[in-house]
């Protein structure tokens, strides 16, 4: 039986399944930023992580990996379809990203969401020590805070929302809008990426539930005698664990790999890079369109530039993602067909995921990083790129519609919907003199290195401790 002072609850467990040469299975913590941020605390407090192991119908006993207790929550095939692919990724995801794709509202998906959220809440409630802390993560689990509170009124509950929260006019579409708000308000602290997300949430709370809201605090009715408790909703912009990026970027073998990548692309004078999950929120199509027009108009030449687009496979059974893939691959094929020569390619498109070493080598090879998301909670790729640029060279083109844009003011900012503006921004980046690159990159690096993921988690947990004291 797992009992921990500190319990993290997230849709996915932070582990990868390793199958050895003889077919034996083991698990290793995956190198994501969230685990890295929480690992020291998880290890010292003997913390537990409640999550889905990522495969349908896999029933596993709690186990330990790298000093963290892992509590697997099983999902059936049907629940993967209805709770994960359905409600989480075909209802909430598109709605919260400003309906870039139309959200689907299905009552059976909602029912599965409630059932699965309850399962996560029960696992968390069972794992938390008396007066312990439970920290719930992201949009797949918005009902868990209130469910945990009902099961375990003694614990302190935090919730962090990694994606955007939409304006009230859009949020109001959700048939279960009041349930979701009440679910989130079960937490003592509700964290968002941007000030704007927190503001939209507080507006929804005021308008839908008519609770009293003062600054970041909400008076949440608790019990029947008119008693209230305080919940705080505010921004805590997330970041990356910078250390491994700095280390890898300095490693001779990684630097050699960057040179090798450059050479294998025919040593173009400028390498442009896009790195995204293949998701319609990322504006990959807009980026490719702008780049293709620059080539067609002769403002860029295929002998001089290459766009490397890493589009890692994601949510491949959700219709909107299936269509997106077809659309992107058609566009890439057209542009390459029209402009490639035997020795040079316009777009090197990679529908694959890569280990961190290879990503850092790519960042080092890239003169220009293109982040053109139509809507993005934060965008950590932008911060990863910056962290690796120890020589203060390189240019970040960054969409205004990312959480990162609030912090990374010295990037070349773009509205990705404005294709002419995007083309001009790409040209500005390609032609930017070294001195200006240095001036901007130094400021960007200062920001990213000072506000890393440890700053993020400690400020969130400090806010949680503060509410608990009250």
Specify the residue, 188 or 376, whose C-beta has the smaller distance to ligand G6P.
Answer: 376
Shortest distance (Å) from residue 263 CB to ligand G6P: 33
Specify the residue, 97 or 262, whose C-beta has the smaller distance to ligand G6P.
Answer: 97
Which residue is it, tokens 């919730």?
159
Shortest distance (Å) from residue 40 CB to ligand G6P: 22
Give yes or no for a contact between 4 and 132, defined as CB atoms under 8 angstroms apart: yes
325 binds ligand G6P (CB under 6 A): no
Shortest distance (Å) from residue 162 CB to ligand G6P: 4
Give yes or no for a contact between 156 and 188, defined as CB atoms under 8 angstroms apart: yes
For 57, counting Cβ atoms within 10 Å of its Cβ (0-12 exposed, 13-18 middle, 19+ buried), the class is exposed
Shortest distance (Å) from residue 367 CB to ligand G6P: 26
Q: How many residues bind ligand G6P (CB under 6 A)?
A: 7
Residue number closest to ligand G6P, CB atom: 162
H or E stretch covering 369: strand 368-371
Shortest distance (Å) from residue 89 CB to ligand G6P: 6
Query: How do 63-65 and 68-72 pair as beta strands?
Result: antiparallel
Give yes or no for a contact between 401 and 416, defined as CB atoms under 8 angstroms apart: yes
Specify the residue, 13 or 213, whose C-beta has the smaller distance to ligand G6P.
Answer: 13
Specify the residue, 36 or 213, whose C-beta has the smaller distance to ligand G6P.
Answer: 36
Using the 8-state DSSP alphabet, how is residue 402 labeled? B
Using the 8-state DSSP alphabet, how is residue 404 labeled? G
Residue 91 in tokens? 């209802």
Any idea how long the chain is?
Answer: 470
Shortest distance (Å) from residue 30 CB to ligand G6P: 11
Specify the residue, 138 or 407, whose C-beta has the smaller distance to ligand G6P.
Answer: 138
Among 163, 184, 218, 272, binds ligand G6P (CB under 6 A): 163
Best CA proximity match to 86, nearest among 255, 263, 290, 319? 319
12 binds ligand G6P (CB under 6 A): yes
Binding mask 98-137 for ligand G6P (x = CB under 6 A): ----------------------------------------
162 binds ligand G6P (CB under 6 A): yes
Q: Which residues contact 133 (CB under 8 A, 6 or more apart)?
A: 5, 6, 7, 155, 156, 157, 158, 461, 464
DSSP 170-193: HHTT-TTHHHHHHHHTTSSEEEES
Best CA proximity match to 300, nearest among 203, 123, 424? 424
Specify the residue, 12 or 206, whose C-beta has the smaller distance to ligand G6P.
Answer: 12
Specify the residue, 162 or 234, whose C-beta has the smaller distance to ligand G6P.
Answer: 162
Shortest distance (Å) from residue 60 CB to ligand G6P: 18
314 binds ligand G6P (CB under 6 A): yes
Spatial separation of the C-alpha atoms in residues 181 and 159, rounded to whole Å: 12
Number of Cβ within 10 Å of residue 346's Cβ equals 24
Shortest distance (Å) from residue 84 CB to ligand G6P: 7
138 binds ligand G6P (CB under 6 A): yes
315 binds ligand G6P (CB under 6 A): yes
Shortest distance (Å) from residue 303 CB to ligand G6P: 37
Please give the residue ranges that form the binding site for ligand G6P (CB under 6 A).
11-12, 138, 162-163, 314-315
């Amino acid at each position: 039986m797992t009992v921990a002072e500190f319990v993290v609850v997230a849709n996915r467990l932070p582990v990868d399944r390793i199958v050895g040469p003889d077919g034996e299975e083991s698990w290793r913590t995956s190198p994501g930023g969230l685990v890295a941020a929480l690992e020291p605390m998880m290890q010292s407090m003997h913390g537990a992580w409640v999550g889905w192991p990522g495969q349908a119908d896999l029933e596993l006993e709690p186990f330990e990996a790298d000093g963290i207790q892992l509590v697997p929550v099983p999902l059936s095939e049907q629940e993967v379809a209805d709770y994960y692919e359905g409600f989480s990724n075909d209802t909430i995801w598109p709605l919260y990203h400003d309906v870039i794709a139309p959200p689907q509202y299905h009552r059976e998906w909602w029912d599965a969401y409630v059932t699965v959220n309850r399962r996560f809440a029960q696992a968390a409630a069972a794992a938390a020590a008396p007066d312990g802390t439970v920290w719930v993560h992201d949009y797949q689990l918005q009902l868990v805070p209130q469910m945990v509170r009902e099961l375990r009124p003694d614990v302190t509950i935090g919730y962090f929302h990694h994606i955007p929260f939409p304006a009230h006019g859009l949020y109001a579409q959700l048939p279960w809008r009041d349930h979701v708000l009440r679910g989130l308000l079960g937490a003592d602290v509700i964290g968002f990426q941007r000030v704007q997300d927190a503001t939209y949430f507080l507006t929804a709370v005021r308008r839908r539930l008519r609770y009293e809201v003062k600054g970041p605090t909400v008076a949440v009715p608790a019990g029947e005698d008119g008693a209230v408790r305080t919940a705080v909703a505010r921004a805590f912009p997330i970041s990356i664990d910078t250390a491994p990026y700095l280390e890898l970027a300095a490693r001779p073998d990684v630097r050699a790999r960057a040179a090798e990548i450059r050479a294998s692309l025919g040593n173009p004078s400028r390498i442009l890079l896009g790195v995204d999950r293949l998701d319609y929120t990322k504006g990959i199509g807009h980026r490719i369109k702008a780049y293709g027009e620059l080539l067609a108009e002769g403002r860029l030449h295929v002998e001089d530039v290459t766009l490397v687009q890493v589009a890692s496979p994601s949510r491949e059974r959700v219709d909107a993602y299936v269509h997106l893939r077809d659309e992107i691959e058609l566009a890439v094929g057209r542009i390459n067909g029209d402009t490639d020569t035997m020795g040079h390619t316009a777009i090197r498109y990679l529908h694959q995921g890569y280990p961190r070493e290879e990503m850092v080598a790519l960042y080092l090879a890239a003169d220009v990083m293109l982040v053109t998301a139509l809507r993005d909670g934060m965008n950590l790729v932008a911060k990863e790129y910056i962290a690796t640029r120890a020589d203060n060279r390189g240019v970040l083109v960054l969409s205004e519609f990312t959480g990162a844009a609030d912090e990374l003011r010295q990037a070349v900012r773009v509205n990705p919907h404005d294709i002419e503006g995007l083309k001009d921004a790409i040209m500005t980046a390609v032609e930017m003199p070294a001195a200006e690159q240095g001036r901007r990159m130094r400021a960007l690096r200062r920001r990213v290195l000072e506000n890393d993921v440890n700053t993020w988690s400690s400020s969130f947990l400090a806010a949680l401790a503060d509410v608990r004291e009250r």
